[in-house]
Amino acid sequence: MKIQKIDHVGVIVDDLSAAKEFFLDFGLQVKGEWEMEGELMGYTAGLTDAKVACVGLGTPDSQTWIELIKFYSPPDEKGVQQTFANTLGIRHIAFSVEGIEDVVAKLKKKGTEIFSEIQQYEESYKLCYVRGPEGIILELAERTK
């Protein structure tokens, strides 16, 4: 057995348009858009009567995607739950960036919540956490060595 790569990370959202716009502004590209429903979708997701719309986004040079998923049915009764960086579970998506100061300034201008100013981690990285729509947390990392 051999694991070949991480194919995609699924992110469930309520406002698919806003999440898509955020990631497009961030610099990702749409790799695909589709809808799914029916027995197979329900079976694979473990839900009854599942119907979803999806947008796959990635960088130009990568085969790994972020898959934004909007469930039309069944709906999530709880809505978006605000989490923190230390909340248990999958909590953030890390991006290697170039020109972190420019990326953060662009996100600030768009109204994105910035967790902290850019921090130097040892001699190897500049780091910053930001929160996008629906509480999606991104870690931005620029290699400095």
For the structural domain made of 8-73, what CATH number should be given?
Answer: 3.10.180.10
Any idea which architecture 93-143 has in CATH?
2-Layer Sandwich (3.30)
Q: How far apart are alpha carbons 38 and 132 in whole angstroms? A: 31
Q: Where in the chain is the domain with CATH 3.10.180.10?
A: 8-73
Q: Where in the chain is the domain with CATH 3.30.720.110?
A: 93-143
User: Looking at the predicted structure, is the pLDDT value of residue 91 above 90?
Assistant: no
Element at 45 (helix H, strand E): helix 39-45
Which pTM value belongs to this model? 0.86
15/6: higher pLDDT: 15
